[in-house]
Structure formats: structure tokens, C-alpha cells
A and B are shown apart, each in its own frame.
Chain A
Amino acid sequence: MNRYTVAVLVRNQFGVLNRVTSMFRRRQFNISALTVSETESSEFSRITVIFDGEETYKQQLVNQLYKLPDVCSIKEFSADNSISCELLLIKMENDPATRDDIRTAAEAFGAVTVDYSKNSIMFRLADSSQRIDDFINIMRDYKILEICRTGSVSLEKGSTTIRQTINF
């Protein structure tokens, strides 16, 4: 099993996310994370898909994506050629007994305190998915109230862009 990160440039049209996820569902592709947002051009949206599987599984997923008329371009990323980042918001119980330990761990990971109340403390961390996993694992020793993470987004290093590969 490998972990794959694939960016998909799609026409920014009503229902396009539904078309992509509907295809994943009916062909039983199991997706670990998926993000979507508008791009530098309002004409396009960009979907980042992360999934685990064998090479043939990935090939089939990419081939099926290319069959959707709204898909304009697809780019595969590896750790070497790209920068990936995910955003985490995590809300912890604010207990005087554990407060210092939590804040020390957060500081070590570079997480920023974004909300502070009598009973809760919230951190924001933008980092690789692995680092976010590590941070959450440490926080599990204390009382986690709520977690929200975005799923990873990726861009290729250097000046090449996904739009240069349209109509591959």
C-alpha cells in the first residue's frame, strides 16, 4: 500500500464536487482526505485527493477522473517534488493541572493559541499531516474537547503549475 496525493483541476461549476465524489463512491474508491476550493482563476476549482492503495488502484482512479468532462487536469505529487500542508484546530480542556504541559507541547509543535477561556483552550497548527497526527497523539494524553482538520493541500515545487498540463 502506498499513500497517494493527487490534485485535480476541475471546471468551477455547480455540482462538480458531487460528480467527483459520486464517481469515487460508485466505483468504491476509498478516500482518506479531500479538499476543494476555488483557484487563482474563478473558472477553475482545485480538488486535492489523498488515498491509499496499489499502483493499479491509483491508475484506475486517475483514469476514471479523466473521464469526467469537468476534469481539466490532474497532477500527482510525491513528497520530493511538492509541498503539502494541512490545517488543524484543536480544542482542549483548560485544566490548571495539565495547562502547562499542553502549552509546552503546543509550543514545541509551533501551534498557536487562538482561543482561551476559563474551561477551554484552542490551538491552530498548520503543518504536514504526519506532524498533525503526532501533535494530536500527544494531546490524547489530555482531554480533547473537539478536533477539526482540513485535509492536506499540495503544490508542486518550482514554477510549473497544474494549469500548464491542461489537455494532457
Chain B
Amino acid sequence: MVLSGADIVVKTLIEQGCDTVFGYPGGQIINVYDSLYKYSNEINHVLTAHEQGAAHAADGYARTTGKVGVVISTSGPGATNLVTGIATAYLDSVPLVAICGNVPTTQIGTDSFQEIDITGVTLPITKHNYFVGSVEHLADTIREAFKLAKSGRPGPILIDIPKDVQIAKCEYTPEPPVEADQPLAAKDVRIKEAAEYINMSKRPYIYFGGGLITSGAQDEMLCLAEKIDAPIGCSLMGLSGIPTQHPRFLGMQGMHGHYASSMAMHHADLIISLGVRFNDRVTGNRAKFAAGAKIIHIDVDGSELSKNVNAVCGLRGDVKLTLEKLLPLITENKKSNWNDTINLFKKEESDYIDNRDGLTPRRAILTLNKYLGDNTAVATDVGQHQMWSAQNLCFKKARRFVSSGGLGTMGYGLGAAIGAAFGTKERSVLVTGDGSFGMCLNELATAVSYNVPLVILIMNNGVLGMVRQWQTLFFDKHYSNTVLNRKTDFVALARAFGADGEAVSDTKALDEALKRAFDYNGVYVIDCAIDKDEFVLPMLPPGGSMDDIIVKVGD
């Protein structure tokens, strides 16, 4: 059938299995919005308050479902407003397709109204991007974008479509949804090499990240852990990858990781790394990082192997398929000495752990845990509350922790939580701070408009806590621009947006508020008072090693 470019955009999205898109209309994308109107019984469009919120929502939708998230915006400012959202998805390898309108091809390059070179702007923060110069290429470009977004290491793709291409007509023939490229296992010779290292190891530590979740290799990893009697830790992006309560799981390691997990990694003789990239927040000082350990690194992206830390054995391939081939080569053996050491680390961790009464950050998250269903997605913003969440949230199912790990985007959480609610079709939770929430709280309007079931827990300490923590520790308590002391009444604000909420300042009140929130039909904001001097601990100072770990402050 002969269709306009705009119709082709929407028909191709539908053809690719896309049921929900997020976005914001404007002059140069108006034709696509007309097509969304036409096909509204086949595809659902969620209008946000700002394009950034739409990008984060599409990202949250993608992270919770594993499907490609789609965001649509107009040209110029609409497109540049997507940039932070696209960069967030890029750093965390989230499959995302961003579609922008642009001025007609005849006006491109003339600095027209709302014209911006968005393919140029997003070049370093997309896996790939396209400028579609003619309607004949439109459908195939969108299909290729979907394929690229989800193949190998996923990532965001941007498609820039000038207005005249949206208007022009051509023949459109529906096609089945594109498949991701066939995943491949690493080379046999490398797998054999890895097996030899693993079979020789006396103190192995399995370390996984977001790549394990993308690959769906949880069972294979657990099977490996059982066979070699190894503890498991993860990066921030790995959280929710296996159930938090799993007896072999030591938790997140790194700058604010669990003591036992970081210690186990530090003392291991072999780190079996699955879908991770050894970011600086993970390694600290790379020269001192796990100095006694050899590293085996399995990743679908070959450029990650030996990029940040040197791996004795780098396996480029799909984590699941590679582990499947590796497992038969592994000899089963118990490691009681190593596990005694691990238990000692756990004991030390339990001595350090913050067990104070009152409304401490840890108590707040533990209270929240009581209300989380197996399928509840928890989004966070960035800062202290994010780390308290990462340390203490209890997950039962993968893809239920939604957090900006790589880019560290304050203001990510609310949009992402909305997207997560659409993705899981269930109530989602946002844990945020007063600083982060202040950045993009406009999306309360979106959540209320669509009656998204959403619990928002603001850990309100009146300061930009994470930066302030650094100022306390490393800048002689020069609290430069981190003390907010704003007069914002978050409960009144929630009501102004059409939501409801309450403020709490003790654990019992928080518990009751959470009960109300999880029963509430809509958006419920809990303004939870946290002391401004609460720290995220333990902490490895930036560029430090396990020798520099800070487990207690002040006494």
C-alpha cells in the first residue's frame, strides 16, 4: 500500500512489536503525530511533560521489559532535550530508538527555525544514528535501527526524519519484526583456556554486571558458582540479576559496595567477570585493584576486554552461550578454606553494618522492602539515596532495579519509574532525593494524567548529600552550594499536581505511609526526613583501594 512517510513511521513501529511509545509533539513531527492519532488503537503514545522525561520513560520501559524503548520528539529543542536521556541509555547499554522530526530537506543547513544537527550532536552518545533523506529508505532504516538497538551489546539509535520525508509517499509492505543478530559463544580455544584457569583457582570470585541480565545467563552463572563453590558479587548494573537473598550472593562491590563483596574480590585469586566493564567506580585505583587476582572476562563487546583492566583470558561472546560451553569443562570442587574466609568477611560486614534505631537511610529502605512485590520495579535517581537503595533493596526478579549507573543522571528516576510502570504493567516505585527529585519533578504531571500507580519515596535531607559527603571527607567541610534548605513543600506540591502524599519523620510513620501508598490508586509521594549528616558507607575514596576503605565516620 502507498503511505505517507509519517504513516510508514508508525506502521513500522507497530510492525516491530512496539505497543507503547513516549514523546512530545512539535512542528516538525506533527505529521507523525497525525499518524499516531490515526493508528491510536494499535499503538499507545504517552505524552510527557518534557522530552527528557520521555527519553527516560522509554529507557525505563526498555530496562524492565528487555524490549526496545521508543521516544519521539520534534526538531531543535525537542531533539536536544533527548540528549541526556540518550546518553543515559548509551552508558548503560539500553536498547532505545529515538525518532526526531527535522526541518524539510530543502532547508537543512540553513539554520532554519528549530533546526539542529541532531545526528551530529548525538554522534558520540548513540550506537548509531540516521538522517533519512528519502521516504523510500524510511521503513528499512527503522527496521535496521531496531536490529542494531537490540543486537550484541544493546544501545540507543537515533533516527532524524525531515518533515518533507514524513509527507512524501511511497509503497509500504509490512514485514515481520527484525530479530537481533544471532548471539555467538566465544571461541572454543579461549573457553578451554578459561576452564583451565578456573579449575586451577583456589579463591574464585564471580563478578557480573548488566551484560549478564541482557544475556539472560543467570542459571548458567549459578550453576558455575555451585560447581566451583564460589561467591558471587555484582556491579550496580548487575543488581536484581539474581535474587538478593541467594546464599552465594555478597551484593554489589565497588566504591559503595558491600564490604564482604569488595573484600572477596580483593582477596580472590581469580575474578570470573560476566558482562561488566570495570568502570572506575568499580576498580578505584586500577594499579592496586585485586592485585593478586587473574581476571577472566566474558563480554559480547570485544572492545571491553582488557580496556580498563588486563584480563589473562578475554572471551568475546554471548555470556549465556559461552558459559553453556564452559560448564562441562569445569571440575566440581569444594573450597572450604575460601568459604571460611568469605564467612569471616560477612561477619566483619555484619559488625560494621548500620543497625541504629530511628529513621536511618537503611531502615527506610528496609521498611520499603516489606512492601515490594516480586515484580515491583524500583527506579532511583542519583546520589546517596541511590547507593542506600543499591545496598539495601531486596530483589527477587531480574530487570527490577532501574538506575542510571554509567552516566549518573540526576533527574532520571521519575521518568524511568513511569516507563517501568508501563513496562511491568504494575505499580512501580521511585526512590529519590530532594535534589534529584527537584530536577525533573515536572513528570508528576505525566504520572497523574495517566494515573500511573507509583510510590515516590523522597529521602529528604535538605542537602545534595553525595557531594556534601565528599566535601565533608575531602574538602574540609566546605559546603559549597550543597545546602539546599529550600522551602518546597513536597506534599503540597504532589497535591498541586493532582497526586497525594504525606511527610514522615519516624520509622513507624514511614511504615504506615508506605502501606497507604501501596494501596493508593495513583501517585503517592512520601517526603521522608533523613538527617543531613548520614553517610553512604562503606566508601572507597575515589582512586583508592581496599586499603583505604572507610567503614565508619566520626568516631
Residues of A that sit less than 8 Å from B by CB: 14-15, 18-19, 22-23, 26, 56, 59-60, 63-64, 66-70
CA distance A136 to B127 in the complex (A): 42
A-B pairs with beta carbons under 8 Å apart, 29 shown: A14-B131, A14-B133, A15-B119, A15-B131, A18-B120, A18-B123, A19-B123, A22-B123, A22-B124, A23-B124, A56-B306, A59-B306, A60-B303, A60-B307, A63-B302, A63-B303, A63-B305, A63-B307, A64-B303, A66-B302, A66-B303, A67-B127, A67-B301, A67-B303, A68-B128, A69-B127, A69-B128, A69-B148, A70-B128
Q: Which of B295-348 contact A (CB under 8 A)?
A: 301-303, 305-307
List chain B residues, Cβ under 8 A from A70. 128
Q: Residue of B at shortest CB range from A68?
A: B128
Residues of B that sit less than 8 Å from A by CB: 119-120, 123-124, 127-128, 131, 133, 148, 301-303, 305-307
CA distance A19 to B123 in the complex (A): 7
Going nearest first, the 3 A-B pairs with the smallest beta carbon separation are A63-B303, A69-B128, A26-B124
Q: Residue of A at shortest CB range from B155?
A: A67
Secondary structure type dominating chain A contacts: helix
Q: Residue of A at shortest CB range from B152?
A: A67
Min CB gap A76→B, angstroms: 15
Min CB gap A67→B, angstroms: 6
List chain B residues, Cβ under 8 A from A67. 127, 301, 303
Most buried by A among B127, B131, B303, B307: B303
Min CB gap B175→A, angstroms: 20
Q: Residue of A at shortest CB range from B302?
A: A63
CA distance A23 to B125 in the complex (A): 10
Known pairs A22-B123, A59-B306, A69-B127 / 10 extra A-B pairs, C-beta < 8 Å: A14-B131, A15-B119, A15-B131, A18-B120, A19-B123, A63-B303, A66-B303, A67-B303, A69-B128, A69-B148
CA distance A18 to B378 in the complex (A): 39
Min CB gap A48→B, angstroms: 21
CA distance A60 to B311 in the complex (A): 14
Most buried by B among A26, A66, A67, A70: A67
Min CB gap B190→A, angstroms: 15
Min CB gap B127→A, angstroms: 7
Q: Residue of B at shortest CB range from A62?
A: B303
Min CB gap B162→A, angstroms: 13
List chain B residues, Cβ under 8 A from A56. 306
List chain B residues, Cβ under 8 A from A63. 302-303, 305, 307
Q: Residue of B at shortest CB range from A69?
A: B128
List chain A residues, Cβ under 8 A from B302. 63, 66
Q: Residue of A at shortest CB range from B147?
A: A69
List chain B residues, Cβ under 8 A from A66. 302-303
List chain B residues, Cβ under 8 A from A26. 124
Min CB gap A65→B, angstroms: 9
Min CB gap A17→B, angstroms: 12
Min CB gap A168→B, angstroms: 11
Min CB gap A43→B, angstroms: 15
List chain A residues, Cβ under 8 A from B306. 56, 59
List chain A residues, Cβ under 8 A from B148. 69
